[in-house]
A and B are shown apart, each in its own frame.
Chain A
Amino acid sequence: MAVFNDSEELKNVLVGFFNKLASDETIAPNFVKSKLVIRFNYREPDLSLTLDMSNGKDLVITVNDKEKVPEVDMDMKADIAHKFWLGKLNLTMAITRRQMVVRGPVPKILVFLPALKPTYQIYKDYLKEIGREDLIK
C-alpha cells in the first residue's frame, strides 16, 4: 500500500516540509547557494513540486508549476521520496537502480548530498509535529 493516499496528502506533507527547510537558517543557505531550479515529479500519487533557488537567496516552492523551466527534473514514486527523506535510501544507489530518474546535470544533485544529512532528522521531527508519527516506520 502506498504511503500517501492521495495528491492532497502528499502535497500537505512535502510542501510543509520544504517550507520548514526554506526557513531553517542553517539548512537553507546550503541549498540556495546552488541557484538551482529543481522539479520533483512524483507518481502514485501524482504531484509536481518545483523548488526555485535561482536568486541564490530564497527557496520558493510551487505546486504543479508548468511555467518555470527547471534545470534538473527528478522523477520518482512518492513512496521513494518519503523513504529518501527518512534517510532510508542512498541517493546514488536509488539512481543506479532507477528508483529515481534524473534529467539534467547529475553532479548538481550529487553535491547536495552533504547538505542533506541533517534534513532526515528534520523530516522525522516535522512528521511528529504535524501528528503523522504513523509515517515514521
Chain B
Amino acid sequence: MGLPEFFQFHVPTKIIFGEGVASDFGVELEEMGVEKPLIVTDKVIEKLGLADYVVNGLEENGVEVGGIFNEVPQDSSVTVVNRIAELYKRNGCDGFIAIGGGSVIDSAKGANIVVGAGGDLIKDHSGAQTLTHPLKPLIAIPTTSGTGSEVTTAAVIYNEETQTKMEFIDKFLPASLAVLDPNMTKTLPPLITAATGMDALTHAIEAFVDVDATPLSDMYAEEAMRIIVSHLVNACANGEDVEERGWMMLGSTIAGAAFSHSECGVVHGIAHSLGGLLKIPHGIANAIILPFGMEYNLSVREERFSKIANIFGVYNENLSPLENGRRAIQYIKSLKEKLKEVAGLPTKLREVGVDEKDFPEIIKKTLIDGTSIYNPREETEEGILEILKNAF
C-alpha cells in the first residue's frame, strides 16, 4: 500500500488496565472532577454482581453514586437514552459510568449527547460530527471483549419511531476513561466469549485490509490480531483464567482503536444485515462470515492477507502472497472449528436459522450499509451472494 494521501489519528481515551482496577479508580474520577456519577448498566450485569463490584469500590473511595440505571436492553434505543439523560439531570449527576457491553456503552454515549449538547437526539445529532464541544466525563467499563466501544467515536442507537438503527459519529463520543479489568469478563459464558472475541478479531482484520487503513491503524490492527488469536480459544476454555481474559480485553480495545480509524468492510456489512433482519447476534454473524469475506477480498489484497498469515504464524516464505493469504483464511476456518468445539460457536448460516430465501433482503441491505464504501473490493450483488452461499 502506498503513502496515504491524508489521514488523522486520534484516540483521546485514557486507558487504565489491571485486575481489580474496576473497583479502584477513584483517583482518576477525582482527577476528572467527577463526584456524583450515574451508573448505566443492564440487569444481567447487575445480577452477576459486576455493578456492585464497581459501586462498592466507588463508595470505598468516597464517591457518591448519583443513581443506577439498570434497564439497558440488548439493543440501545432512543427512549432508553432519554430516560438515562432524564435520571442524570434529575439526580444532579456530573458524569457517566457505563458498565456493560456495546449496548450499555452506546446508551451512555447517547445520554451524554442529550445531557451535554441538548436538543433532540435524532433530529439534531444523528449523523457525523454534529457536536461542537466536549461532553460530560464518560467512564466505560467493558464486560465483554468485543465491541471496542470504549475507544470508538461511534454509537448506534435504535430509533423506535422509524424502526432504524441510527449512527452517531463524533470526535467527542469516545469515553474519557476506559477501565479494563479482566475480572469483569470472568463470568462471560464460553459462547459469548467466542462470539465477542471473533467480533474483535473481525474489527482488526477488516481495519487492516480496508481502503482507509493507515500505518497507525495498521499498528493497532496487527497487534490486536496477534493478541486475539493467541488467547481467544484459551479464554473460552478457561474462563476463570484472568490472564487470558486480560489479554482478550486488551485485544478488543486495541482492535477498537484500529477500526475506529479505518472502519470495517463487507463482513460487518453482512453482519449488520443479519442482525437487523434476523436478529443474529453480531459476534456470531461476524464469526460465520469472516473467512468468506476474506476470500472475497483476497484477490485485491494479496500482500495484506499474506502479512496476516505471518501474524497468525502460518506464513511460508516459499509460497506466493496469494497462497499465503489462503493460509490465513484457512487458519480462521480452523479457529472457528476449535471455537465450535470449546464454546459451541455456530460456523454456518444454516445453523443460526438463516434460510436461502433470506438472501435477497440480506444482499439489498448489505449494499447500502455504511461499511460498503470501505471494503477493498467493490461490493456487488453477485459477490455478496457468493459469500452468503459459501457461509450457508
Contacts and interface: CB of A to CB of B under 8 A. Distances in A.
Contact of A98 (B6, B124, B125, B129): B129
A101 B123 CA distance: 13
A107 B369 CA distance: 6
B91 interface: no
B224 interface: no
A105 B369 contact: no
Nearest to A103: B127
Contact of B164 (A72, A96, A101, A105): A105
Nearest to A113: B373
Interface residues of A, number: 22
Interface stretch (A7-15, A87-95, A128-136): A87-95
B5 A102 contact: no
Given A90-B5, A97-B8, A111-B368, A104 B126 contact: yes
Interface string A34-77: 00000000000000000000000000000000000000110000
Contacts of B372: 110-111
B167 interface: yes
B370 A107 contact: yes
Interface in A95-126: 95-98, 100-108, 110-111, 113-114
Contacts, number: 63
A132 B5 CA distance: 28
Interface of A is mostly: mixed
Given A105-B164, A105-B167, A107-B369, A96 B5 contact: no
A98 B167 contact: no
A103 B130 contact: yes
B363 to A, nearest CB: 14
B166 interface: yes
B127 A107 contact: no
B150 interface: no
B128 A95 contact: yes
A106 B164 CA distance: 13
Contacts of A104: 126-127
A34 to B, nearest CB: 9
Contacts of B370: 106-107, 110-111
Contacts of A90: 5-6
A77 to B, nearest CB: 14
Interface in B1-34: 5-8
A103 B6 CA distance: 24
A106 B128 contact: yes
B226 interface: no
Given A92-B212, A98-B171, A110-B370, A105 B6 contact: no
A47 to B, nearest CB: 20
A108 B367 CA distance: 11
Nearest to B159: A105
Interface string B101-140: 0000000000000000000000111111110000000000
B58 to A, nearest CB: 35
Nearest to A98: B129
A72 B171 CA distance: 20
A110 B164 contact: no
B129 A107 contact: no
A96 to B, nearest CB: 6
Contacts of A92: 212, 373-374
Nearest to B263: A92
B169 interface: yes
A103 B125 CA distance: 6
B124 A103 contact: yes
A90 B121 CA distance: 27
A113 B378 CA distance: 12
Contacts of A105: 126-127, 164, 166-167
Nearest to A95: B128
B126 A103 contact: yes
B129 A108 contact: no
B127 A106 contact: yes
15 contacts: A72-B127, A93-B6, A93-B7, A93-B8, A95-B128, A95-B129, A100-B128, A101-B129, A104-B126, A106-B167, A107-B368, A107-B369, A110-B372, A110-B373, A114-B373
Given A103-B123, A103-B126, 6 more contacts: A72-B127, A90-B5, A90-B6, A93-B8, A105-B127, A108-B368
